[in-house]
Amino acid sequence: MFLFQTARANSPAPGVKCRSWKVQLLELVAFLVIVSPLSALAVYAFRPESLDFSFVASASMVRDVLLVGVVVWLLRRNAEPLSRLGVTGANFWREVRLGILLFPPFFLGTAVLQMALRSLGLSGLSEPPSYLMPIGGLEIAFGLLFIAVVAVSEEIIFRGYLLLRLRAITGSPAAALVLASLLFALGHGYQGSAGVVTVGTMGVLLGLVYLWRGSLTAPIVMHFLQNFIGIVVVPLLATGT
């Protein structure tokens, strides 16, 4: 029921024009036209053996910052506040604590799902790609910045902006959640079919938390912790450092 209750929380603020779903659809298509080449470039333009962590992290941060810039520009163009995306400082520390509390079941549940999918024969990664494994203190420090930027930007894009526009276009929070999570999953094709399904499920769960709370803070914390374990903790354990 909260899917419909939170629609009120993200309703247009006073002074914000309600645009037709057709106009919002055109804007969304234009945004996806911008996103697709950048995502494809990040995934397919380079051979994995030619990549290193610093290059991938730098390129990914530049891409994500540019996309968030496009989102902010679109909002300003429409006189929409960032709070419509759930970017708000309201109850910040309470939302941070909630994200930390929700993370263990989120992490364990998706890990079990991925193992189950792998046991059914779906493809997946047994360990992170070498270009997503920071080596040494400087790269690990840079990796923390990378993880933070990705967590904030991807939540703004996939849980904030895409859910806002898809909900207006479809008229259904549930349909918007599924579509946004599918787009989120497709950007992780390098993880194999099991990884794509798992990431899509993560997207749904993060979206449910966002719709429940009306804030991106808890999903950002959960996203950060997920990537921190995969990009920093797992490589450290693997190398025994």
What pLDDT is recorded for position 16?
46
Angle between helices 192-213 and 92-119 (to 10 degrees): 150
Quick one: pLDDT band at residue 239, thresholds 50, 70, 90? low
pLDDT at 198 over 90: yes
Q: In the block, which residue shows the tokens 């029921």?
A: 1
Look at residue 3 and tell me whether its pLDDT is greater than 60: no
- Give the pLDDT score at 133: 84
Residue 69 carries which side chain, given as an amino acid letter? Answer: G
Arithmetic mean of pLDDT, 188-192: 76
Q: What is the pLDDT of residue 39?
A: 60
Q: Give the mean pLDDT of 213-219.
A: 96
Asked whether the predicted pLDDT for residue 96 surpasses 60, the reply is yes
Max Cα–Cα distance, the chain, nearest Å: 57
Select the more confidently predicted residue: 207 or 191.
207
- Global pTM value: 0.87
Instruction: Look up residue 71 and give its amino acid.
Output: V
Q: What is the pLDDT of residue 18?
A: 58
Please check the confidence at residue 2 and state whether its pLDDT lies above 50.
Answer: no
* pLDDT value at 9 more than 50: no
Give yes or no for residue 100 having a pLDDT over 90. yes
Which CA distances in Å does 129 have to 11, 125, 207, 238?
A: 41, 8, 27, 13
* pLDDT tens-digit series, residues 10-51: 554 444 455 677 788 888 888 887 776 556 555 544 555 567
Within a 13 Å sphere around the CA of 25, how many CA atoms are in the beta-carbon half?
6
Res 182: pLDDT: 92
* CA–CA gap between residue 185 and residue 218 (Å, rounded): 20
Q: What is the pLDDT of residue 127?
A: 72
- Evaluate if residue 107 carries a pLDDT over 70: yes
